[in-house]
């Protein structure tokens, strides 16, 4: 007799105005199973787990818990059942302690001494190291995630939902998380695991449910699938490999950064400390790092939104631009794409045509005699839409009418098609599906092949290893020595991301499966 499923979804349907988010989705999760939920952005994953956690209700279908049909009215009801959730974006108060943050997340009042004892017991049981009286603002991203995990484990969960849990972790922290999840599963806890990192799914999960366009398209064993085969099921087509020119030679120096230091913004801002690196024509230079280590400050300093203290801190094609404005640097041949697409890279209330004028008016001839050439802007916007397969009604569409992934494609296309001498981009494929990510990667490789120098700042180590020629790691505002990607050591990169600089005796050796995954 087959064991009763811990969680069983049958015909779950959820509609929003103009969108069928989930269309008769059915699958089950067994006790002690680590079950992956896969799909592109917009496939319906987040909507589905919000219904499991009681944040919203299905329009049709039923949820069974240990064989009994139930209605999960709200998150508190979900927690009473033993359903815990660790969200992708942490909900923590930075000025409060670990203990205070955990207390705020508990449904009932527990005396501080008793709660602290329970926290220490859970941490000892699962090998999670945290100091309960540390202020959250002093913790790394990985340590902050442990707060969320400990808070969930205090419930003694029967089902733990993890939403993109490794997106901001070093490889070593990923391995430590896997140890905890495997231990939980061995004790009978079911885990629903959402991630776009398919090598992690193969290494960790027993089963994978794949959604596309709100519908279930397959339930498979990820251990016998390849990362490519799962990605192709997610996108419903073939995934293209990056095509690089064989034996390509790098050209002259295009971007030189020398002893760049910039003060942090506000009490929690990260200062840049004596950063130096250079990028040649045809080279793609990657900057890896856990979120919050100065990546945004570096993008702002390179793009000209924040000025360097000296002109010679940054050179573009031999010209000193450290004290130039963003507009002057664009005229000197630089283009940039910030991490925040809505409100920083694009004005949501502007049309796509108008958004091209923001950065392309000079390079693309959109201004003549002080007057904006609307026809040129419309033509260029249309060319970007076509070249990057942007789903939009046309150049007149407002930026905020596009999905996040399509707006990202448009912004990346807008800068790439200007063929800048130097392109600096942060999180180039943030929020886009596997097919679109491959297209953006190819466009960056093609741009480099024409002689541009490209800097890619990304939290996605897989992306950097696949795309870049050279790699450095930023940690607490300092940049490591560059290394060639072809001979990169994943363990060394992970240690640098975690803040261990050049210590050969540093602990935590990655397991073979994690090393091979990269």
Residue 55, token pair as written in the block: 């944040």
Whether 500 is covered by a domain: the verdict is: yes
Whether 86 is covered by a domain: the verdict is: yes
pTM for this model (two decimals): 0.75
Q: State whether 149 and 285 are in the same domain.
A: no
Is there a contact between 483 and 470 (Cβ–Cβ < 8 Å)? Answer: yes
Q: State whether 213 and 81 are in the same domain.
A: yes
Residue 98, token pair as written in the block: 């670990």
C-alpha gyration radius of the chain: 24
Q: State whether 463 and 504 are in the same domain.
A: yes
CA–CA distance, 5 with 77 (Å, rounded to integer): 19
Q: State whether 168 and 274 are in the same domain.
A: no
Q: State whether 19 and 127 are in the same domain.
A: yes
pLDDT category at 434 given cuts 50, 70, 90 is confident
**What is the chain's length?**
518
For the chain, what is the domain count? 2
Say which CATH number the domain at 155 has.
Answer: 3.40.50.300
Give the residue among 194, 310, 222, 208 at the shortest CA–CA distance from 262.
310
Minimum mean pLDDT among 52-56, 90-94, 273-277: which range?
Answer: 90-94
Q: What's the whole-number mean pLDDT along residues 391-399?
A: 93
CA–CA distance, 471 with 454 (Å, rounded to integer): 12
Q: State whether 205 and 142 are in the same domain.
A: yes
Q: What's the whole-number mean pLDDT along residues 405-412?
A: 91
Q: What's the whole-number mean pLDDT along residues 483-499?
A: 86
Buried b (16+ CB within 10 A) or exposed e, 338-347: bbebeebbbe
Q: State whether 187 and 102 are in the same domain.
A: yes
* Sign of the dihedral through C-alpha 425, 427, 140, 469: negative
Whether 342 is covered by a domain: the verdict is: no
Q: State whether 189 and 306 are in the same domain.
A: no
Q: What pLDDT sits at residue 514? A: 40
Q: State whether 229 and 258 are in the same domain.
A: no
Residue 474, token pair as written in the block: 């930023």
Buried b (16+ CB within 10 A) or exposed e, 162-198: bbbbbbbbbbbbbbbbbebbeebbeeebbbbbbbbbb
pLDDT category at 198 given cuts 50, 70, 90 is confident
pLDDT category at 184 given cuts 50, 70, 90 is very high
Q: Which of 201, 235, 269 is the last residue of a domain?
A: 235
Q: What pLDDT sits at residue 517? A: 43
Q: What pLDDT sits at residue 502? A: 39
CA–CA distance, 445 with 467 (Å, rounded to integer): 8
Q: What share of the chain is helix, strand, coil (3-state, %, to 5)?
A: 35, 25, 40
List the 272-280 sheet strands across, edge first: 272-280, 253-262, 314-316, 319-320
Q: Which of 185, 208, 235 is the last residue of a domain?
A: 235
Whether 109 is covered by a domain: the verdict is: yes
Residues 240-271 pLDDT 10s: 777 776 667 899 999 999 999 999 877 667 89
Q: What pLDDT sits at residue 510? A: 41
Is there a contact between 154 and 121 (Cβ–Cβ < 8 Å)? Answer: no
Check pLDDT > 60 for residue 48. Answer: yes
User: Is pLDDT larger for residue 243 or for residue 208?
Assistant: 208
Buried b (16+ CB within 10 A) or exposed e, 475-513: bebbbbebbebeebebbbbbbbbbebeeeeebeeebeee
* Sign of the dihedral through C-alpha 149, 154, 160, 161: negative
Residues 261-309 pLDDT 10s: 999 877 667 899 999 999 999 999 999 988 778 898 999 999 999 999 9
Distances (CA, A) of 266 to 95, 298, 411, 414: 14, 15, 28, 31
Whether 398 is covered by a domain: the verdict is: no
Q: State whether 218 and 268 are in the same domain.
A: no
pLDDT category at 357 given cuts 50, 70, 90 is very high
* Sign of the dihedral through C-alpha 27, 22, 197, 248: positive
Q: Is 468 left (phi over 0), alpha (psi -120 to 50) or beta?
A: beta
CA–CA distance, 85 with 157 (Å, rounded to integer): 9
Whether 294 is covered by a domain: the verdict is: yes
Q: What's the whole-number mean pLDDT along residues 60-82?
A: 94
User: Is pLDDT larger for residue 486 or for residue 500?
Assistant: 486
pLDDT category at 436 given cuts 50, 70, 90 is confident
Q: What's the whole-number mean pLDDT along residues 486-504?
A: 73
Minimum mean pLDDT among 107-116, 299-308, 417-426: which range?
Answer: 107-116
Give residue 450's Cα distance to chain centre: 28
Whether 409 is covered by a domain: the verdict is: no
CA dihedral defined by 165, 166, 167, 173, rounded to 10 degrees?
130
- Which range marks the domain in which residue 201 is found? 7-235
Q: State whether 202 and 306 are in the same domain.
A: no
Q: What pLDDT sits at residue 246? A: 64
Check pLDDT > 70 for residue 3. Answer: no
Minimum mean pLDDT among 35-39, 221-225, 331-335, 429-433: which range?
Answer: 429-433
Q: What's the whole-number mean pLDDT along residues 393-399?
A: 94
Check pLDDT > 50 for residue 169. Answer: yes
Whether 132 is covered by a domain: the verdict is: yes
Q: Which of 235, 269, 301 is the last residue of a domain?
A: 235
Residues 116-139 pLDDT 10s: 999 999 888 888 888 899 998 877
CA–CA distance, 461 with 489 (Å, rounded to integer): 12
Is there a contact between 190 and 152 (Cβ–Cβ < 8 Å)? Answer: no
Q: What's the whole-number mean pLDDT along residues 16-45?
A: 91
Is there a contact between 418 and 335 (Cβ–Cβ < 8 Å)? Answer: yes
Q: State whether 269 and 210 are in the same domain.
A: no
Q: How many helices (H) and strands (E) does the chain have?
A: 17, 23
Q: What pLDDT sits at residue 267? A: 67
């Amino acid at each position: 007799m087959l064991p009763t499923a811990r969680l069983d979804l049958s015909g779950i349907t959820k509609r929003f105005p103009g969108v069928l988010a989930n269309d008769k989705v059915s699958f089950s999760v067994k006790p002690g199973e680590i079950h992956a939920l896969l799909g592109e952005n917009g496939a319906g994953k987040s909507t589905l787990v919000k219904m499991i956690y009681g944040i919203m209700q299905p329009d049709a279908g039923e949820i069974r818990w240990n064989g009994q049909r139930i209605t999960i009215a709200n998150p508190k009801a979900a927690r009473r059942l033993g359903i815990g959730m660790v969200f992708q974006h942490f909900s923590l108060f930075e000025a409060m302690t670990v203990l205070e943050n955990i207390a705020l997340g508990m449904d009932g009042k527990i005396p501080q001494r008793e709660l602290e004892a329970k926290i220490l017991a859970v941490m000892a049981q699962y090998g999670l190291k945290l100091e309960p009286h540390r202020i959250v603002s002093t913790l790394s991203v990985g340590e902050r995630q442990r707060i969320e995990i400990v808070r969930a484990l205090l419930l003694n969960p029967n089902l733990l939902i993890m939403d993109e849990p490794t997106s901001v972790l070093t490889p070593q922290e990923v391995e430590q998380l896997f140890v905890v999840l495997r231990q939980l599963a061995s004790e009978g806890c079911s885990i629903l695991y959402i991630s776009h990192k398919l090598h992690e799914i193969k290494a960790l999960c027993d089963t994978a449910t794949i959604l596309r366009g709100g519908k279930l398209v397959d339930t498979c064993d990820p251990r016998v699938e390849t990362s490519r085969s799962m990605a192709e099921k997610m996108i419903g087509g073939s995934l293209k490999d990056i095509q690089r020119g064989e034996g390509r030679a790098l050209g002259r120096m295009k971007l030189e950064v020398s002893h760049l230091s910039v003060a942090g913004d506000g009490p929690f801002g990260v200062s840049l400390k004596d950063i130096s690196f250079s990028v040649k024509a045809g080279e793609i230079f990657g900057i890896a790092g856990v979120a919050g280590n100065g990546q945004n400050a570096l993008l702002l300093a390179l793009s000209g939104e924040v000025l360097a203290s000296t002109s010679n801190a940054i050179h573009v094609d031999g010209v000193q631009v450290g004290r130039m404005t963003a507009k002057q640097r664009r005229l000197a041949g630089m283009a940039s794409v910030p991490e925040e697409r809505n409100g920083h890279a694009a004005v949501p209330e502007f049309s796509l045509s108008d958004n091209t004028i923001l950065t392309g008016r000079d390079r693309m001839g959109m201004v003549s005699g002080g007057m904006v050439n609307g026809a040129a802007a419309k033509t260029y916007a249309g060319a970007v839409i076509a070249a990057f397969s942007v789903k939009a009604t046309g150049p007149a569409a407002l930026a905020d009418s596009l999905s996040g992934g399509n707006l990202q494609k448009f912004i990346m296309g807008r800068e790439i098609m200007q063929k800048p001498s130097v392109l600096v981009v942060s999180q180039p494929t943030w929020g886009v599906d596997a097919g679109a990510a491959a297209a953006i990667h190819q466009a960056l490789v093609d741009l480099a092949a024409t002689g541009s120098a490209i800097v890619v700042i990304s939290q996605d180590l897989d992306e950097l290893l696949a795309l870049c020629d050279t790699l450095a790691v930023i940690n607490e505002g300092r940049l490591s020595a560059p290394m060639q990607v072809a001979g990169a050591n994943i363990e060394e990169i992970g240690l640098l991301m975690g803040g261990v600089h050049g210590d050969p005796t540093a602990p935590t050796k990655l397991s073979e499966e994690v090393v091979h995954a990269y």
